[in-house]
């Protein structure tokens, strides 16, 4: 039986403390870094959730979004793509009154619009997963082996290409910088520093189909 990639990193690596410098020491950030960031994702619902959350982060910190993730899931029907795509004016008004999410009209409207684009992509490509992974060489996670976060670019040719195509299809809040963050989070690129204890384990996860833990 394949071990869960969501096993507690503190259990798997109790004596290793070297992490990517960006995660600091906030428990929610550390848990996200240790258990989720960079793990290859191949589940459409999970990928859509991450896409919407990365867009919601625009102008804010990722920590702000992580602390609201549970309420986002409730507000957006666990990010069921078909449900979000069907949101009408009444549901959008309800979301804009929900203090548990970022109450930005443009971002809420983008979630609905982007869900409809994802449905089109699924019809065209078979899955959102297949579409997204076509933007990385050979459909495999990129392994840049960066020595420090100072070597990590805000954008890459791959994130620029993905952003350009999504915008062409009608998506918003999918600029190349947001798409770079999305690709890092979804494991299309392994941007853990080579000194980070998660770098090598993530490198060995190619091909693992990961599903979001609904309790996180």
- What's the confidence (pLDDT) of residue 4? 34
The secondary structure of 105-124 as a DSSP string is: HHHHHHHHHHHHHHHHHHHH
Residues 67-85 have pLDDT tens digits of 999 999 999 999 999 999 9
Residues 30-53 have pLDDT tens digits of 999 999 999 999 999 999 999 999
Distance from C-alpha of 210 to C-alpha of 216, rounded to nearest angstrom: 14
| pTM of this prediction exceeds 0.75 | yes
Evaluate if residue 6 carries a pLDDT over 70: no
Question: Scanning the structure block, which residue is given the tokens 């809040």?
Answer: 173
Evaluate if residue 10 carries a pLDDT over 80: no
Evaluate if residue 60 carries a pLDDT over 90: yes
Is the CA virtual torsion 148, 150, 151, 157 positive or negative? positive
Task: Name the average pLDDT for the chain.
Answer: 87
189 three-class SS = strand
- Selecting among 32, 37, 87, 131, the annotated active-site residue is 32
Residues 106-150 have pLDDT tens digits of 999 999 999 999 999 999 999 999 999 999 999 999 988 877 777
pLDDT band at residue 24 under the 50/70/90 scheme: confident
> Active-site residue 155, yes or no?
no
CB 50 within 8 A of CB 216: no
Distance from C-alpha of 169 to C-alpha of 161, rounded to nearest angstrom: 13
- Selecting among 35, 49, 54, 158, the annotated active-site residue is 54
Evaluate if residue 65 carries a pLDDT over 70: yes
> Active-site residue 72, yes or no?
no
Element at 132 (helix H, strand E): helix 128-133
The secondary structure of 6-18 as a DSSP string is: TS-HHHHSTT---
- Selecting among 62, 72, 87, 133, the annotated active-site residue is 62
Evaluate if residue 14 carries a pLDDT over 60: no
> Active-site residue 62, yes or no?
yes
Domains of the chain in sequence order: 24-203 (1.10.340.30)
């Amino acid at each position: 039986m394949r071990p869960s990639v969501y096993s507690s990193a503190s259990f798997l690596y109790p004596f290793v403390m070297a992490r990517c410098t960006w995660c600091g020491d906030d428990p929610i950030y550390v848990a996200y870094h240790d258990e989720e960031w960079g793990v290859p994702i191949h589940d459409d619902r999970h990928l859509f959730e991450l896409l919407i959350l990365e867009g919601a982060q625009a102008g804010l910190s990722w920590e702000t979004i992580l602390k609201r993730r549970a309420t986002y899931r409730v507000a957006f029907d666990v990010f069921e793509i078909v449900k979000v795509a069907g949101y009408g004016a009444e549901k959008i008004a309800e979301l804009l009154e929900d203090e548990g999410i970022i109450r930005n009209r443009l971002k809420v409207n983008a979630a609905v619009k982007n869900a409809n684009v994802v449905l089109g992509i699924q019809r065209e490509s078979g899955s959102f997963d297949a579409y997204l992974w076509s933007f990385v060489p050979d459909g495999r996670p990129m392994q840049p082996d960066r020595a420090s976060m100072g070597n990590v670019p805000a954008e890459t040719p791959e994130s620029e290409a993905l952003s350009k195509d999504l915008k062409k299809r009608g998506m918003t809040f999918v600029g190349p910088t947001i798409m770079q963050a999305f690709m890092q989070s979804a494991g299309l690129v392994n941007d853990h520093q080579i000194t980070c204890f998660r770098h090598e384990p993530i490198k060995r996860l190619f091909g693992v189909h990961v599903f979001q833990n609904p309790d996180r």
